Chains A and B, each alone.
Chain A
Amino acid sequence: MSSTEGMGLIRVSEVTKVYRQGALEVHALRGVNLTVADGEFTALAGPSGSGKTTLLNLIGVLDAPTTGTVQLNGQDVSGLNKGEAAEYRLDNVGFIFQAYNLVPVLTAYENAEFTLLLRGAGPKERREVVRPLLQRVGLGDMMDRKPHELSGGQQQRVAIVRALATHPRIVLADEPTANLDSANSDGLMDLMAELNEELGTTFLFSSHDPVVLERARRLVILRDGKVANPDADGD
């Protein structure tokens, strides 16, 4: 039994997030509780403004909650400073964003190896990790292409490789199929599901596309900054 089994790889407790825009306060999250176990393939659903991206940002340590705690692998990451948060993300979290996912001046291969490089991996190690993964996602002959020479679906595949290259415990994907057509969306979801099964990596992704949400093994619905189906939160 792993150390996190029973308590969950991701544990979000009574989290609120308030954005201040001048005198106006926007309550993006209003007391969210969520537990995600190791190896889950979970979708966050909900309409625009329901708090999906905010919750993913807090779990990905891109932002800090106003109140409440976020624990990853048993560690409270709510109070990390910017430098510690960056280190934590590099070692533990992979990201796939909706758009503008790749560094435009780097090739597909260079984008894919970027996080490994930040972790100080040598060229041989990077090559041994990244090449098979790029071939696995069908981009073996497109490694030298710049992002603008790749389709949206191909760019997202590069982002998946980059997210998985460091073997993170968690991959967070914020509306990964939002800019893709249905064929590419299906392909991407198939790929993510396969990698989840093959590698055991935890996937937590947001979407409001019913076709995508059908593929999730667990569905968490957010509405007005709260989990609308608490029975599905695993607690």
Chain B
Amino acid sequence: MLWRIAWRNLWRHRTRTLILSSVIAMTYGMTLFGMGVGDDSHQRMLREAVLMAGGDVLVHGDGYWATRGSDVVMESGSEVVRAVAGVEGVGRELPRVLINGLLSTSAATRPVFLQGVDPGAEDAWRNLSEDVTAGTFLRDPPRDPLVLGSRLAGRLEVELGGRVVLTASDPAGEVTRALFHVTGILETGNREMDELLAFTTVSGAQRAVAMEGALTQVGVLLTDGNGPEPVADRIRVALGARNGDLEVLTWREAVPEMVGFVELDDAFGYIYIVVIFVVVLFAITNTFLMAVMERVREFGLLAALGLRGDRIGGLILRETLLLTALAMGAGFVIGYSCHLAADHWGINLAMWGLDEVEISGVDVADMVIRSTINPAKWFAASVLVALASLGSALYPAWRAMRLAPAEAMRFFE
């Protein structure tokens, strides 16, 4: 009977109930959607960060990541690769020679970040072939091949088949020059990468800077279910005595600014949600308090008939529970619909003139926002909303419980 009374009481003031449930529903729905968009953005940023870093775990000569100096190399590159390959949790090893230098043609000279890579392994991870607009990504390469970013190629005014000269320092600090032939041009959509990046084979890069047999970096990709930290620890052990000459970093350690940004953004997100809900809670408390005050006489009648105070309080809580369930049902439909729409069509920030953003040194070029459901966070948010909504009715329920029947019955006399 109390449930029946509670349900019907909700609809005594239909407009008020609809407005209040709409507020809860919109707040809840937008919270879910906001979390979906936020999680997707963060995941995308972190994926970009892993790509930018070069893998889930990175192995370098000791001190390379801080200085990016051409003199910090791993002399026995193949031994390092073999040692890393035998570690549990390692899915793929990506040997690299990284060179900061200048590329010159007869038309121009531009700075370049040249990566000597294993074409098959690198392409399988980064899908670089998909970005190639002319030529191939180091497929059946001739001696000294070069794949250039499209903007870099434009600046150098070089086309497929053209020749460019690399000027860089070798590990001994001597300036060296090497000739490359342009075999591919790629366009990633990332302005910075397209302006700065170039790729060649590991051997081509080693020849260019007198690093035969040596590597600058081994990027490590993990098998599913492995976290970077334990694998990094196992790699350190596997490298044994060589460990002192090498540094092993997880991608989190390599780009701490991005990790910090995501954590900070998450924290601000939670604060924002809490602030919104505090406002909504006061609105609910106020509404239910009004509902109690205008029904004092009625609660007095129920008490006079023998309904105990705790059951009168329970009536208020039932009304809140029904309102919350109704509003959260609608809110979930709103939030989930927005999630599905964003996941399917995306929200293109380019419409507002945002082509690309750099966050903590990581370029995020894909400006289409999508949504990702993190079930645990959605569940936690739902529990929070339900508890907060019910909590907001505790004071009105307590007021109703404490009403003395004789006084309550006099209320409107």
The size bracket of the interface on A is 20 to 34
Contacting pair B406 A103 (CB below 8 A): no
Instruction: Give chain A residues whose Cβ lies under 8 Å from the Cβ of B412.
Output: 100
Contacting pair A114 B305 (CB below 8 A): yes
Say yes or no: A89-B308 contact (C-beta < 8 A), given A63-B406, A104-B298.
Answer: no
Instruction: Give chain A residues whose Cβ lies under 8 Å from the Cβ of B303.
Output: 62, 86
Alpha-carbon gap, A215 to B412, bound state (A): 29
Interface residues of B (CB under 8 A from A): 1, 4-5, 8-9, 12, 297-298, 301-310, 404-406, 409-410, 412-413
Residue in A101, A110, A118 whose CB lies within 8 Å of B307: A118
Residue in A53, A90, A105 whose CB lies within 8 Å of B305: A90
Say yes or no: A62-B409 contact (C-beta < 8 A), given A86-B303, A103-B298, A104-B12.
Answer: yes
Alpha-carbon gap, A82 to B406, bound state (A): 12
Of B8, B9, B305, B310, chain A has the most CB atoms within 10 Å of the CB of: B305
Contacting pair B404 A103 (CB below 8 A): no
Contacting pair B307 A86 (CB below 8 A): yes
Say yes or no: A105-B306 contact (C-beta < 8 A), given A62-B405, A62-B406.
Answer: no
Instruction: Give chain B residues whose Cβ lies under 8 Å from the Cβ of A57.
Output: 406, 409
**B405 → A minimal CB distance (Å):** 5
**B16 → A minimal CB distance (Å):** 15
Contacting pair A89 B298 (CB below 8 A): no
A sample of 30 inter-chain contacts (CB < 8 A) reads A60-B304, A62-B304, A63-B404, A63-B405, A63-B406, A82-B309, A83-B308, A83-B309, A86-B306, A86-B307, A86-B309, A87-B306, A87-B308, A90-B306, A95-B304, A97-B301, A98-B413, A100-B297, A100-B298, A100-B301, A103-B302, A104-B12, A105-B9, A105-B12, A106-B8, A114-B1, A117-B1, A118-B306, A119-B306, A162-B305
Which positions 46-84 of chain A face chain B at CB distance < 8 Å? 53, 57, 60, 62-63, 82-83
Contacting pair B304 A101 (CB below 8 A): no
Answer whether residue A115 sits at the interface, using C-beta atoms and an 8 A cutoff.
yes
Instruction: Give chain A residues whose Cβ lies under 8 Å from the Cβ of B9.
Output: 105
Closest to A85 in B: B405
Instruction: Give chain A residues whose Cβ lies under 8 Å from the Cβ of B410.
Output: 53
Say yes or no: A95-B297 contact (C-beta < 8 A), given A63-B404, A63-B406, A106-B5.
Answer: no
Alpha-carbon gap, A97 to B297, bound state (A): 11
Contacting pair A103 B306 (CB below 8 A): no
Contacting pair B5 A105 (CB below 8 A): yes
**A56 → B minimal CB distance (Å):** 10
Alpha-carbon gap, A105 to B13, bound state (A): 12
Closest to A115 in B: B305
Say yes or no: A118-B12 contact (C-beta < 8 A), given A62-B405, A103-B298.
Answer: no
Alpha-carbon gap, A85 to B304, bound state (A): 9
**A51 → B minimal CB distance (Å):** 13
**B37 → A minimal CB distance (Å):** 42
